Amino acid sequence: MNTSFHSIMVILLWLYAAWDTAAQTDADTVMVRQWIDSAWDMRIEEPEKTLILAQKALAKSPADFYFGNVNALQLHGESYFGLGKMDSALYYYHLALQASLSKEDRYEIGNNYSSLASIYLSTGRKDSSLYYYDLAIDLFEDSKDSSSLSDALLRYGNVHNDMGNHAQAIDAYLASIRICESIGRELYIAYNYGAIATVHDKQGNFEQAEKYFLQALEIFEKLDDWYGLMGVYNNLGVLYKNQQKYDQALNAYNQSLVYSDSISFTPGQLSAHTNLGILHTKLRQFELALHHSSIGLDLSYTFEDKDAIGDNLNWIARAQLGLKDYSTALENAKAAIDIGHEIESLERQRDASLTLSEVYAATHRYAESLEMFKAYASIKDSLFNIGKTKQMDELLTLYETEKKDNEIALLAKKAEIDQIKKTRLWIAFGLSILTGGLFIYLQWVRRSRDRKIHAQEKELEIRRRRTAELENEKITRELDFKKQELAAKALQLARKNEFLQSVQKQVEQLREHGTSEVENTTRQISRQIRRDIESEEEWDQFLASFREVHKDFIDELQKTYPSLTKGEIRLACLMKMNLSGKELASMLNISYEGIKKARHRMRKKLNIDSEIDIQDYMLSFPAV
C-alpha cells in the first residue's frame, strides 16, 4: 500500500514538473516573439536598442525554438550593420544562414543570401555580393516568390551599376519593373526608376536621367516614402552638379539631408554631407565645405567606409587649400592617397594626386608638384583607357544583341516564306483536281499568297540593309572613339607643356633672386622640365594614335615630299587636326611667330601657291 502510494506521488511530481517547464517555455517564446517584433520595427532608427533586444531574444530562446533563434541572429546582423560594424554583421548573418539551411527554410535562406550580399557590397567586396545575389535570385525564381525576386533583382542591378556594367544593370532593373508591375508593387517601381536614372547620369544622358528621377520622385511623394525621397534628392543633386547647375544641386542635397536627419538614417546623412562638402568647395565656400566634409569624415569612420573616408579626406584637403591652411591640407591629401592605394581605387588616387600637386605648387615646392602632376596625368590616362574600353564593350554588346535579333527575325521570316511556298504548292495541286467552279476562287487565293510573299521578301531586304547599316555604324563609332582619343592626347600634351612652361618661368624667377644653392637647384629643375617638354615618348604615342585615325596621311606625305624633317611632319599632323596657331605653339613648344615661320618654310618646300592656305591644303591631303 505504501509502495503504491509512493509511486503515484513520484508520477504526479514528474507530471507537475513537466507541465511547469512547458508553461515556462511557452511564456519564454511569447516574450521572445514580442522582443523580435519590436526590434524589427526599430532596427533602422535605433540600432543600439535593437541590439539589446536581439541579445535578450537570443539568450532567452529555447534551443529548439527556430523562429526565435534565426530572427535573433538576423537582428544582431541588422544592428551591427546600422552601427557600421560590418565584420560583426557578416558573422551573425552567416550564423543565421547556417540555421536556416539546417531547417531547409527556403524563405529565410533567400533573405539571408540577400542580406549577406548587401553587407558585402557595403564593404566594397562586389564579387562576393554578386555571388550571394545570384544564389538569392535562383532560389526566389524557383520558389516563385515574386516580391523577394523583384527586390533582389533591383539590388543585383545596383551592384552591376556600381561596377560600371551598365547593360547588365539595366537588364536587372527592367526585369524587376516587369515583376513589380505584375504584382502592383508601386514603391519598388519607383526605386527601379531611380536606379535607371543613375545609369543615364553616368553615361551623360542627363535629360533621360532627370526624367526617370522625377518619375520616381512623383511616386515617392504619393506614397510619402521618406527613404525614397531622401535617395532621389541626393541623386538629383549629383545629376545637377554634373551639369554645373549648382543652385539646383545645393537645394537637392539639402532636401536629402533634411529627410536623412528626420528619420535618423546615418548612411543618408553620410552621403548628403559628403556631397555638400564637394559642392561648397566647387562654389569656393570653403568654410561650409570644411564643415560638411568633416561631418562626412566622422560618419565614414563610423561605418568603416574607406571609399567615403578617401573622398572626404581629399575634399577636406581642397577646402583647407582654399583657406591657405597648407600644412593640414598636405597631411590630409597624403592620407587620401594612402587610402586610395589601400583600397586600390584609381579614381581616389587620381583626385588626391591632383590635390597634392596643387598644395605643393602653392608652397613653392615645384619639383614635388611636378612629380604629383605626372602621377595624376598617368592615372587619368589609365582611367580614360579603362572607361573607353568599357564604353566600347557596351556598344559592342548592344550591337551584337541587335544583330542577333535581326538574324533571328530573318530566320523566322525565311521559315515563314518556305512554309508559304509549300502551302502554295499544295494549293496548286488541289486546283488541278477541283472543278471549274472553284478555279476563280483559287486564283484569287494564289494572288493573295503572292502578294504576301512579295511583302515578306521586301521586309527581308529591309532587314538586310539594316544589318549593313549597323556594320557601318560600328565602324563609324570605332573611328569616333579613336578621334576622341587623339584629341584628348593632343589636349593633354598641350596642357602639360603649358603647365611645364609656367613652372619653368617661376623657377627662372626664383633663380634670378635666389642664392647660389637655389640657383643650382633651379637649374636642375629647369633641365628636368626641358627634358619632359622635349620628350620623344609622348610624341611617339601621339603619332601612333594619329596613324589609327588618318591611316595614309604620314606615309603619303613622306612619299610625296621626302625632304620634310621630323619636326615638319609633326607640324603637318597637327595642322591636319585643324588646331589653332596658339595650340600649335603649345604642342611644339615654340612661339606663335615661330609657327608662322615654320609654315612659311614648309610652304616653300611643298611648292604651294601663295593663294592657297597651307592648313586647308593639309586638311584635304592626300587628295582623293
Mean per-residue pLDDT for 614-619?
89
**Cell match 600644412: residue?**
327
Of 13-22, 153-162, 171-180, 444-453, the range with the lowest mean pLDDT is 13-22
Could you tell me which of 547, 537, 536 has the C-alpha nearest to residue 577?
547
Q: Distances in Å between the alpha carbon of 235 and those of 29, 76, 162, 206, 243?
A: 44, 30, 14, 12, 13
Of 73-87, 315-329, 383-397, the range with the lowest mean pLDDT is 383-397
328-349 CB burial, b ≥16 within 10 A, e <16: ebbbbbbbbbebbeeeebeebb
267-299 CB burial, b ≥16 within 10 A, e <16: bbbbbbbbbbbbbbbeeebbeebbbbbbbbbeb
Question: For residue range 57-85, what is the model confidence (pLDDT) as tens digits?
Answer: 889 888 889 998 999 999 999 999 988 89
Question: For residue range 154-180, what is the model confidence (pLDDT) as tens digits?
Answer: 999 999 988 889 999 999 999 999 999
| Residue type at position 396 | L
Mean per-residue pLDDT for 232-247?
91
Question: For residue range 511-534, what is the model confidence (pLDDT) as tens digits?
Answer: 676 666 667 776 777 676 666 666
Largest CA distance in the chain: 140
- pTM across the whole model: 0.51
Quote the pLDDT of residue 445.
75
